[in-house]
Amino acid sequence: MSKIPPYLKAGDTIGITAPSGFMAIEKLQACIDTLQNWGYTVKLGETTHSESQTYFSGTDEERASDLQDMLDDPEVKAILCARGGYGMSRIVDRLNFKRFRRHPKWVIGFSDITVLHAHILRQYDIATLHAPMGAAFNEGLDDNPYLASFRKAIEGEPLVYASPAHAQDRHGSVRGELVGGNLSLIAHLVGSDSDLKTKNRILFLEDIGEHLYAIDRMMLQLKRSGRLDRLKGLVVGGFTDCKDTERPFGATVEEIIRSHIETDRFPVCFGFPVSHEKENVALKIGVLHQLDVAPSGTTLKEVR
């Protein structure tokens, strides 16, 4: 069982850093205000107000140093990544997790932050949080169950989610540790020190802006590398803004994914609310979950 970091309480400090792509500080203001209104202290890393003129929020050295400071700072009880994009895999091997291992804290983010989630779980067996990042707070808090799930997760409330039935679902009930994230990043990590172990675990996947043939290729990478062998279950989230080629690939995203697991028997659900869009619930990676896929719909709940 993975080690679960302490949950947060009023007055705790949440550090915000941008270890990947650049994000203007103005786009973080709603996030900062919300966290403070929830009763937390916010500490901004140097990369959150970077003057970088490149895609990244700073050089590899600057981004690694900023994240390292957050990992090491005893006052920071959780680390929220401002955004994803690309860049985490350029710096993950520069990081020293010695203090973090002794005093774990929640690492929060998705997309490119999948690299950090996978690395921490693979190397140190510590739970992390796949959840909305800075820009999501610009969507507003009124009737926003996704930001509500973020708060529940960091404060230790058990998480329970339901999603409607889908024609491609495969029914069944299983229990296992939840792992996953962005498909392209999980495929990218195969063979590295951050490679995600999936055996006897529930895997969740999402992605954005990929060609259909690329999704097929990445699913093949997972299959050929054994990452789809002996899964407990598969949760398929949003695959948004997918593109086809001039000559059609000939299958939908759902059909592509099902084709690579057709001979397996584990339960599968499609259309789960984890994605690059607003529909993105907080999921605790490395934590035991119960997955029930039934004709009436899917339930995924944290097991205590």
Q: Quick check: is 211 catalytic?
A: no
Q: How far apart are CA 179 and CA 181, in angstroms?
A: 7
Burial grade of 2 (CB within 10 A; 0-12, 13-18, 19 or more): buried
Mean pLDDT of the chain: 97
Return the pLDDT at 215.
98
Look up residue 17 and give its DSSP letter. Answer: E
Return the pLDDT at 141.
76
Q: Quick check: is 111 catalytic?
A: yes
Q: Could you read off the pLDDT of 230-257 as tens digits, one per residue? A: 999 999 999 999 999 999 999 999 999 9
Q: What is the pLDDT along the chain (304 residues), one digit of tens a residue?
A: 899 999 999 999 999 999 999 999 999 999 999 999 999 999 999 999 998 999 999 999 999 999 999 999 999 999 999 999 999 999 999 999 999 999 999 999 999 999 999 999 999 999 999 999 999 999 877 789 999 999 999 999 999 999 999 999 999 999 999 999 999 999 999 999 999 999 999 999 999 999 999 999 999 999 999 999 999 999 999 999 999 999 999 999 999 999 999 999 999 999 999 999 999 999 999 999 999 999 999 999 999 9
Active-site option among 119, 130, 276, 289: 276
The whole-model pTM stands at 0.97
Q: How far apart are CA 234 and CA 129, in angstroms?
A: 18
Return the pLDDT at 228.
97
Q: How far apart are CA 235 and CA 273, in angstroms?
A: 10
Q: How far apart are CA 226 and CA 190, in angstroms?
A: 10
What are the residue boundaries of the structural domains of the chain, listed by start? 13-155, 160-302
Look up residue 222 and give its DSSP letter. Answer: H
Q: Quick check: is 89 catalytic?
A: no
Cβ distance 47 to 85 under 8 Å?
no
Q: Which CATH superfamily is domain 160-302 in?
A: LD-carboxypeptidase A C-terminal domain-like (3.50.30.60)
Active-site option among 177, 206, 275, 289: 206
Cβ distance 153 to 46 under 8 Å?
no
Count, residues in the chain: 304
Return the pLDDT at 139.
84
CATH dotted code for 13-155: 3.40.50.10740
Looking at the DSSP bridge assignments, the partners of residue 268 are 170, 234
Nearest to 147 by CA among 31, 37, 33: 31
Cβ distance 267 to 170 under 8 Å?
yes
Q: What is the DSSP string of 112-166?
A: GGHHHHHHHHHHH-B-EEE---GGGGGG-STT-HHHHHHHHHHHTPPPEEEE---
Cβ count near 223 (within 10 Å): 14
62's CB contacts (< 8 A; 6+ apart) are 46, 47, 50
What is the helix (H) or strand (E) element at residue 286, kind and residue range? Answer: none
3-state secondary structure (DSSP) of residue 237: strand
Return the pLDDT at 142.
72
Active-site option among 57, 111, 163, 275: 111
Pairing between β-strand 41-44 and β-strand 76-81 as defined by DSSP bridges: unpaired
